[in-house]
Amino acid sequence: MSVWAPTATSVDVVVTADGSEPRTFAADRNGEWFTAPDEAAALIDRGATYAFAVDDESPVPDPRAPWLPAGVHAPGRTFTVDPDLWTDADYVGRSVSGAVLYEMHVGTFTEPGTFDAAAERLDHLVELGVDFVEVMPVNAVNGDHNWGYDGVGWYAVHEPYGGPAGFARFVDACHGRGLGVVLDVVYNHLGPSGNYLPRFGPYLTEASTGWGQSLNLDEAGSDEVRRYIIDNALRWFDEFHVDGLRLDAVHALVDRTAVHLLEELATATDALSARIGRPLSLIAESDLNDPRMITPRDRGGLGMTAQWDDDVHHAIHTAVSGERQGYYADFGSLETLSTVLRRGFFHAMTYSSFRGRRHGRPIDTAATPATALVVYTCDHDQIGNRAVGDRPSAYLDHGQLAIKASLVLLSAFTPMLFMGEEWAASTPFQFFTSHPEPELGRATAEGRKAEFAAHGWDAAEIPDPQDPETFRRSKLDWSEVETSGHRDVLDFYRRLIALRTEIADFAAGTFASVDTDFDPDARWFALHRGGHTVLCNLGAEPVTVDIALEPLLEWHPVSTDGPRTTLTGHSVVVGRRLP
């Protein structure tokens, strides 16, 4: 049991066993590391809680504590997954490329909000046809409920969800149903409560990401900070059998070294993948529109398996909804929609009015698979960071939802759903926190109201993140699945996903497999994949298009008459093109 504390004069290990009084042991120094003496280590190995006191300050949790059963301010415990828990020896895994992902927040996916409760709903995902569950961050945070991006115990699992044992059971249950697991991890900042890393060493810099201080990736002492991050990532793969990591906001990683942290992580991940004999994936969330993110390392890139693509979301959402506020301002035309479906990025050395400068770089569509881009009709940000956390189902009709789903799920990209969208869930997904510190709770609530008041929203309409009702409102209502209307949407999603395997043209693939047609005045749009077409009417008025289709799936009302197809109202038809 060791801890890195390069500037410390002394480190004590405070151990509490079986409810007895805490005992303090002086750690042995070995260069920049301090190691618990044998007696303390033996007690810790037998289940005693422990914490470190640096230079006689109050004891705080180990930065690598694998289990924080009493919270992020309390002593931690060791944890090793019971080998007998695993039943996934026959699970071979797969890359996320071309798969169907399903993003969920464990705390709001079910009423109990635990891993075990989420596991009871996995059959729904299997029947839906998804391949991977992408879990929002589960590292330890202060408070009972949180989106997860305020994590401070990076090596621990949030105890109210079920702790590390609960997470291991969940991963095993997913693998038992043929589902892979992608875990959302945050390496660009730490939360505002329970971050004790600066007591131990130079983990942070003076720079800010906007969410907190930046991690020290390139200044003095950064080698161990980088090791801390990479060891954490590999632990989820190795000890918890996770199949992929979604790396939050990598554009906020400040790294000026010759080998970027992401490249170093990709190298280590590939080495572990070869050792354990199953595919491991890295998905970056990046707003840089930089193709180097998804370019292989041997071609000078960072080697990410895939990255989220907000441009595709923005182009589809604005074309269907008509919204143009904020960063949507440059999107909305059908030409823009055509561009992103054929080229991946809209901003590719083009002027971004939201940023006030040129942005992005074109993707080499001949050398880059379209599956390297993860696309979606919505995600936790695009819902939860709206003022009231309203889903598209709150302001779009089911025909519009069907259009969005069809363009995402039958694109050449790697599609992702956000929990509940498959049945047009009526529950919102709002921004919620449960900071125990009153002053931090007030600051969070006031900051949220001020942010949206600046955009013209009445502060009284903005949900208080600290109000427990904000969290409870965000829980899915599973009774909707079997109700009229919701069930129709669910059936449509299931058929869309099935078409990806039934029709070769609709499998995820290359940019070359995509073509488009559209009429900006009549408001129809066609996505062509080989000999098949997704034909959409984005307008409210009926439209007749000179494309003959043999329908495979449609959202009514749609009719075909010889060489033409007529769509009435917001509707979509998927079919084989006829001569």
Query: How many whole angstroms separate alpha carbon 492 and alpha carbon 119?
Result: 24
What pLDDT is recorded for position 460?
Answer: 82
What pLDDT is recorded for position 450?
Answer: 84
The domain containing residue 11 runs over which residues? 2-59
Q: How confident is the model at residue 115 (pLDDT cuts 50, 70, 90)?
A: very high
* Pairing of β 414-418 and β 373-376: parallel
Q: How confident is the model at residue 92 (pLDDT cuts 50, 70, 90)?
A: very high
Q: In what order do the strands lie in the sheet with 514-519?
A: 514-519, 524-529, 532-537, 571-577, 549-555
Q: For residue 361, which phi and psi values (nearest 5 degrees)?
A: -155, 145
What pLDDT is recorded for position 20?
Answer: 86
Across 367-383, average pLDDT: 97
3-class state of residue 458 by DSSP: coil
Domain assignment present for 535: yes
Q: Is the pTM of this model over 0.95?
A: yes
Domain assignment present for 394: yes
Domain assignment present for 304: no
Say which CATH number the domain at 521 has: 2.60.40.1180
Does 494 share its domain with 516? no
Does 125 share its domain with 246? yes
8 Å CB contact between 125 and 100: no
Residues 493-547 pLDDT 10s = 999 999 999 999 999 999 999 999 999 999 999 999 999 999 999 999 999 999 9
Instruction: Name the domain count of the chain.
Output: 3
Count Cβ atoms within 10 A of the Cβ of residue 424 and give its class: 0-12 exposed, 13-18 middle, 19 or more buried. buried
Does 384 share its domain with 464? yes
Does 455 share its domain with 492? yes
> CA 148 from chain center: how many Å?
11
Which of 389, 559, 398, 519 has the alpha carbon at shortest distance from 463?
Answer: 389
Count Cβ atoms within 10 A of the Cβ of residue 353 and give its class: 0-12 exposed, 13-18 middle, 19 or more buried. exposed
Residues 6+ apart with CB under 8 A from 83: none
Domain assignment present for 367: no
Does 154 share its domain with 33? no
The chain-wide mean pLDDT, for the chain, equals 96
Residues 393-442 pLDDT 10s = 999 999 999 999 999 999 999 999 999 999 999 999 999 999 999 999 99
Indicate if the pLDDT at residue 456 is higher than 80: no
Does 424 share its domain with 460? yes
Q: How confident is the model at residue 209 (pLDDT cuts 50, 70, 90)?
A: confident
Scan for tokens 């398996």, then name that residue: 305
Tell me which residues are annotated as active site. 248, 285
Domain assignment present for 323: no
Does 201 share its domain with 148? yes
Does 8 share its domain with 155? no
Residues 177-205 pLDDT 10s = 999 999 999 999 999 999 999 999 999 99
What pLDDT is recorded for position 130?
Answer: 98
Residues tagged in the binding site annotation for substrate: 246-251, 310-314, 380-385
Domain assignment present for 296: no
Does 133 share its domain with 49? no
Domain assignment present for 476: yes
Does 130 share its domain with 33? no
Does 35 share its domain with 165? no
Query: How many whole angstroms separate alpha carbon 90 and alpha carbon 101?
Result: 21
Mean pLDDT is lowest, of 127-131, 228-232, 487-491, 563-567, for 563-567
Query: How many whole angstroms separate alpha carbon 282 and alpha carbon 229?
Result: 14
Domain assignment present for 378: yes
What pLDDT is recorded for position 527?
Answer: 98
Tell me the DSSP string of 83-105: GGG---TT-----STT--EEEE-
Q: How confident is the model at residue 447 (pLDDT cuts 50, 70, 90)?
A: confident
Say which CATH number the domain at 266 has: 3.20.20.80
Tell me the Ramachandran region of residue 101: left when phi exceeds 0, alpha when psi lies from -120 to 50, beta otherwise.
Answer: beta
Does 135 share its domain with 258? yes
